[in-house]
Amino acid sequence: MTLTNNSKRRKELVSIAARLFFEQGYERTTVRMLADAMGIKSGSLFHHFNDKQEILCAVIQDGMESALEIAGEKLTGVTDPKERFLALARAHLSTLLTDRNAHVVALYEWRSLSEGSLEVLIGMRDEYEQLWQQVIDDCVTSGVLKGDVPLIRRFTLGALNWTVQWYDASGEKTPDDLANALAELIGIQL
């Protein structure tokens, strides 16, 4: 069966596709490039996916799942609002800058998805934003932050998402350093 299966093989292929989509963008990546990187011929790709955009959908789904998973892990057992904010920011930068593929694609290639794929993924995106919303809401309620919660969430995520454009993994700063610096910028200090 070909339709949305979850075979181990398919997961490997999705992971390779994530890398290429991250490096060159979805539109500039051809099915032949994908097949090459996967070590198969382009025709064989369509045994695993119905079309090219289904590959993108799988990558983005994977990216959202990891983001949710890592965020959940890092928040577990943390109760202080400031610490929860920091944990979430670190989780976010970790999936963006360390894992470095699927989550980035999930953020930047949204527009290339077909209507159908969108529906499935919007729920996951909302769930992830809801996580941020709650954490920031706690900060505002406890007086750690001041202002409009959705706006703070969007500015924060914007600042974090944009790190993809300039972060140099071979530099001195770790993703955690960046998370700390952003928290400090908006007045969050432990």
Point out which residues bind DNA (CB under 7 A).
7, 9-10, 29-32, 35, 39-44, 46-48, 50-53
From residue 144, give the alpha-carbon distance in Å to each of 21, 75, 83, 131: 38, 18, 11, 17
Nearer to its own copies, 134 or 161 (CB): 161
The residues of the shown chain that bind its own copies, judged by CB under 8 A, are: 24-25, 27-28, 111-112, 145-148, 151-152, 154-163, 165-166, 178, 181-182, 184-187
**Tokens representing 35?**
């097949």
Nearer to DNA, 54 or 138 (CB): 54
CB atoms within 10 A of CB 147: 12
Whole-angstrom Cα Rg for the chain = 18
Q: How far is the CB of 189 from its own copies (least distance, A)?
A: 10
User: Choosing among its own copies, DNA, none, which partner's interface includes residue 70 (Cβ < 5 to 8 Å by kind)?
Assistant: none
User: Choosing among DNA, its own copies, none, which partner's interface includes residue 152 (Cβ < 5 to 8 Å by kind)?
Assistant: its own copies
* CA 91/CA 45 separation, integer angstroms: 33
Tokens 């997961």 -> residue: 11
Nearer to DNA, 47 or 154 (CB): 47
- DSSP track, 95-123: IIIII-SHHHHHHHSGGGS-HHHHHHHHH
User: Choosing among its own copies, DNA, none, which partner's interface includes residue 103 (Cβ < 5 to 8 Å by kind)?
Assistant: none
Nearer to DNA, 40 or 157 (CB): 40
